[in-house]
Structure 1
């Protein structure tokens, strides 16, 4: 008589495949999070660049306004108008003191602008700030690059930064040499400094320089 062999049940599952699936899911999840964070960082950086570009564009409005002050009917257009400071036009006839980055100290004040010029006088511009779009406020000052008030022809080239004429010698480490100048004085240089205040206490500073015959 034959003896029936003992029947065995199905092999016990050890869960190895499930463990590998869980590991793969964790890796995919971590990769997805990394990709999302990378996209967020890129979008944040692009947004900051666009925001800064917008503040710069709005700041250029102040430079254009400052230039108009020197044109016909402007506050600084008349002969001799630049010889003395005109706070109402945000204009200082003497160069303003600046920090290491070249920003006039008067623009570093939060609201009420006031600061010193290079000879220690206090200058407080009273011109109305420009209201831009999106809660942006634009403030600016204009200063003549001289160390005294008065006409440029009276102060002389030793007291002002000026545009060298074609007859003056240039070279070496000196941009302006003490050589005799032409009979008609070269124009002095004016500087426009702009501060743009945006949302969330953001700030952008701009500067431009130009000349105007006196």
Structure 2
């Protein structure tokens, strides 16, 4: 009996060490997955906050004044980051002016960039008139337009004239935030041209 006891002592120790190693590895895996989940949720929170801050650009664009009628013909108006025609976009539909600073220089100026809630948040935006040619007045043939169908009654035009055609403007914004987080948003609105 004495010989069998000596051979069993080492086996229990090896088995205990293997179980301890498995438990440590399991604990490390749980810690790593929790850190990944926290990092992911933190990045999502940053992105959501940046989307909210990007609304500043939309508000500024809607409040901007654009050229109307014959003044709409021509080139971009740099002091309001305005383009009278639709800008070229990448595969995701983001205007190249927000991706490449040299392209942005043809549409706007960096001094128009907005600062977010903190100094490390920068908001750059462009405003496009969704037309394929910079014509004097928007029409359904050369622009994306918003048309209200006549509804009759008191809302109907008394002289049976066609309802006013309003061009659609699109504001696109790029927000750079902490941890090099980038968010792009787009919004459309209309304004009368005359």
Q: Return the TM-score normalized by structure 1.
A: 0.73
Structure 1 counterpart of 2:31: 36
Contact 1:87 1:125 in 2 (8 A): yes
Aligned mates of 1:81, 1:134 — CA distance in 2: 40
Partner Cα distance (2:95, 2:15) in 1: 65
1:159 aligns with one of 139, 142, 157: 142
Select which of 15, 19, 22 maps to 1:20: 15
Out of 136, 139, 147, the residue aligned to residue 132 of structure 2 is 147
RMSD: 2.8
After superposition, the Cα gap between the structure-2 partners of 1:104 and 1:11, relative to the gap in structure 1 and judged at 3 Å, is closer
> Residue in 1 aligned with 2:158?
none
Give the SS at the match of 1:189: strand
| Paired residues, number | 179
Equivalence for 2:72? 83
Partners of 1:125 and 1:110 in 2: CA distance: 10
- Which structure has more RCO (C-alpha within 8 Å, separation ≥ 6)? 2
Residue 101 of structure 1 corresponds to 92
How far apart, CA to CA, are the structure 2 residues paired with 1:102 and 1:158?
Answer: 22
Q: Secondary structure at the match of 1:14?
A: helix
CA distance in 1, matches of 2:83, 2:40: 38
| Residues 123-142 of structure 1 mapped to structure 2, 5 A cutoff | 123-126=106-109, 128-132=112-116, 133-142=118-127
The structure whose Rg is larger is 1
**1:2-81 equivalences in 2 (<5 Å):** 11-12=5-6, 14-69=9-64, 75-76=65-66, 80=69
Alpha-carbon deviation of 1:24? 1.4
Shift of the 156–191 alpha-carbon distance from structure 1 to 2, 3 Å rule, reads same
- Structure having the higher helix fraction is 2
Structure 1 pair 187–82 and aligned structure 2 pair: CA distance change class (3 A) = farther
Q: Does 1:183 align with 2:167?
A: no
TM-score (structure 2 length as normaliser):
0.79
Separation in 2, partners of 1:145, 1:79: 14
